[in-house]
Structure 1
């Protein structure tokens, strides 16, 4: 089945993401997605879409997919910014999100650190970091980071590294697994798999029917599909290591005996590079405010 004739909407196109996660009509689906991602650590019962102009300047607004105020069953509120993040914009996206948190924490109406709402960036990653095999979900917080305002427990990142999810439909166990599977494979399906037969997931498939869109919506979606070939750029760590090795060899910095050691050290760097990079961004932002 060609992309053009697929039965279900691709949730990672601009149209698809807004359809599922930025629409009042499909707010029930959004609630199910958020509760799956937070894995019962929070029981979200209500979601409010925050108008872009309240929290963003015009430049930032172009990047926002869904800006949410979430309410838990216990009455607590927190903020979630959902984005589809591409390789070229990963660092800048994280930087802007942290800058927003510190800016709000410094606002005159924040009487104490406890008054600051929790902020989460939920990023759908369309490339592979390449540092860990089968590492498809990353959760990062700064509870141990000693910044000037010590945002312990108030700032968090959840990254869904979709290209690294390799479970088959039969191997899916949790709702989180099922969402990963849908994000990666929904556009290729032509029927509902057995693992998705419960009513709540069937509603997702009903909302995803391309045939149910208006003619105008289908035209917009078709235009988005043309961009689809640029999504999921896989970052190959072996290729990166070999390219770096070749540069060092060309510049005369390595001899034949050093090649194996260089490749080993280069690949090991990925294991710590990701979180250290996030801490670096946090400290850069913390020094500004």
Structure 2
């Protein structure tokens, strides 16, 4: 199949292939660096990143497995875990906290005395859903806080969540690099050309990397597969939401998992979409 079978000019960054194509390869790591620096508002200037293994097992066989979308460290050894989350989960915050434990625990020094000093860990969630419709703000930065003094108790663990459906700025309203990155992630697959407001070199690189016409035949096949999974997932989730009003939440999750499994969706994706365990899914 060629790119002529696709209506869009640029890839959908909400697909697994699209997200990793833009942010998960050494060839395009300048895009990730620019995004991280824009996200952190200059507080943490990232000059370079090294990609790390995205699949992690716990310290014991019985521990759950974690598979990250993008996992890297900067030149100071600080860890960045970046996740694209397509749909809402009942225990999303629990999962986010659980994932943050892996880059923390792997810093333990074995075989010699260790004083427990840790490098900072940033867990970043790009969310295709909202926490609260009543709150119109879309950029949340969460740290451990002393509830009495309201001061940050520990500044090396940061959770950043971007509620993408709430970002509705138009091209003419884009002021900062953060605005521009949010606009790109929100609208990329619906654009037919690079907007005039995005003239920085990094966006020239991004639109070139995202252009479907420039894909190899293998990349086209992989993107088509990833796009099909995304569309099937979206259709199943939309149907389940309607049925879920009449059925129990747990049964709805099981029904979603059954349908996704029947469509050939990888178990890791089903786990992320339903928050069911691998064991539960394998029994369906």
Q: Which has the larger radius of gyration?
A: 1
The equivalent residue for 1:130 is: 132
Larger helix proportion of the pair: 1
> 1:127 is paired with a residue of what secondary structure?
coil
Report deviation, 1:138: 0.5
Tell me how far apart the structure 1 counterparts of residues 198 and 10 of structure 2 sit (CA, whole Å): 14
Question: Bigger CA drift: 208-217 or 129-138?
Answer: 129-138
Deviates more, 1:97-106 or 1:184-193: 97-106
Q: Does 1:111 align with 2:114?
A: yes
Where 1:27 maps in the other structure, the secondary structure is helix
User: Matched residues in 2 for 1:67 and 1:218: separation?
Assistant: 24
Where 2:178 maps in the other structure, the secondary structure is helix
TM-score by length of structure 1 reads 0.69
1:239-254 aligned within 5 A: none
Q: How many residues get paired?
A: 226
Which residue of structure 2 lines up, in the alignment, with residue 6 of structure 1? 8
Within 2, Cα distance between the matches of 1:112 and 1:131?
44
| 2:253 corresponds to | none
Aligned to 1:87: 88
The 1:226–1:135 alpha-carbon spacing in structure 2 relative to 1, beyond 3 Å, is same
**Cα displacement (A) at 1:100:** 2.6
Change (3 A) 1:116 1:217: same
Distance 2:141 2:113 in 1: 27
For the Cα contact (< 8 Å) 2:146–2:153, is it kept in 1? Answer: no
Residue 60 of structure 1: which of 44, 61, 65 is its match?
65
CA RMSD of aligned residues (A): 3.1
Matched position secondary structure for 2:6:
helix
Structure 1 residue 97, shift from structure 2 partner: 2.3
Q: Secondary structure at the match of 2:155?
A: coil
Aligned 8 A contact 1:165 1:180 in 2: yes
Q: CA separation of 1:31/1:3 partners in 2, compared to 1, >3 Å: closer, same or farther?
A: farther
Counterpart Cα distance in 1 of 2:44 and 2:234: 31
- Residues of 2 paired with 1:207 and 1:102: CA distance? 32
Gaps of 5+ in 2: 246-284
3-state SS of the aligned residue for 2:10? coil
State yes or no: 1:70 paired with 2:71.
Answer: no
Distance 2:113 2:79 in 1: 15
Q: 1:142: which partner in 2? A: 144
Asked if structure 2 preserves the Cα contact closer than 8 Å seen for 1:143 and 1:151, the reply is yes
| 3-state SS in 2 of match to 1:195 | coil
> Could you tell me which of 30, 41, 44 is aligned with 1:42?
44
| CA distance in 2 between partners of 1:181 and 1:143 (Å) | 31
Higher deviation after alignment, 132-141 or 181-190 = 132-141
1:165-216 deviation per Cα after TM superposition (whole angstroms, max 9, x unaligned):
0111111111111111111100000011110123221111111110111111
Matches within 5 A, 1:218-229: 218-229=220-231
CA offsets, 1:129-187, max 9 Å, x none? 125432111000114379xxx97111110111111101111111111111111111000
- Alpha-carbon separation, structure 2, partners of 1:34 and 1:126: 18
Partner of 1:164: 166
Match of 2:24 in 1: 22
Where does structure 1 lack aligned partners over 5 or more consecutive residues?
244-289
The TM-score normalised by the length of structure 2 is: 0.70
